[in-house]
Amino acid sequence: MSIAVILGSNYQQAQVKQQQLELRTVATPFGEVEVYRYPCKHDAYVIFRNRIPHYYLSNQIPYQAHIAALSQLQCQALLVTSSVGVLNPELPLNAPLVLTDLLMPDNRLPDGSMCTMFIEPSPAQGHLVINESVFSAALSQQLRQYCEQQAMSPPADCVFAYVPGPRTKTAAENNFWYHSGADVNSMTLAPEVILANELQIPVAGLAVGHKYSTPLRQQDVSSTKIQQSLVTSQAIMDDIVSWFLENATPPAFQNYNYIFK
């Protein structure tokens, strides 16, 4: 059994709480994956979504390989993170946000193929049936409780919209996603959540807004400002990420694959 975290592009250096991470390579049917072992009393691992140094654009990330590697490492609790554009004007920037639901109407990977681990027919394949959410309520509650213990403001619950990159969204597209029920959006993260659920890995989602993606809130979106906000969001996530790796309790998986017999 192990705990794992997938970190986004705001983590440009292989550092989590200044800990020394041990690099190892895991071979999967979808290719090799660079996985870092996090030093603590149990097995804990970190995957840098875009690799270290930054190598993958959002449309190049090998999502299936990442989740296959975590499954081989017997991951039983996964935290996926992202810096996001904030669509809901009532939400703050640079504050932890807990993801509770997902908008991903076209269930596809960036290359256009279906977002699934079941590529070829096999006895294990099935339809993912969502009972609670693709985000584990139990893991989300653990995140909230930690923030409360650290006297942080209670993190808002958010609906996440997956909008593949590598380009940013138009104003009309952001308006569409907001009126479709999304609070935040990003170019990544969602495929990891679906694929992990297919392999019965409970997932929690943690986001930090680094810009407003709504005409209702205007701000500087220059390259310099975005880089500064990514650094700020990393600092906010660091403590929560380290706590999760060291202390998260794997919950029972609440969804299931319906397998035809």
Confidence of residue 14 (pLDDT cuts 50, 70, 90): very low
Architecture per CATH, domain 2-249, reads as 3-Layer(aba) Sandwich (3.40)
Q: Give the mean model confidence (pLDDT) for residues 2-15.
A: 79
pTM of the model: 0.92
For 158-176, what is each residue's pLDDT tens digit?
999 999 999 999 999 999 9
How far, in Å, are 17, 39, 243 from residue 21 at the CA level?
10, 7, 15
Q: What are the tens digits of pLDDT across the range 93-118?
A: 888 999 999 999 999 999 999 999 99
**Do the beta carbons of residue 11 and residue 18 sit within 8 Å?**
no
pLDDT digits (tens, 9 = 90+) for 16-53: 555 689 999 999 999 999 999 999 999 999 999 999 88
3-class DSSP state of 69: helix
Element (H, E) at 247: helix 223-247
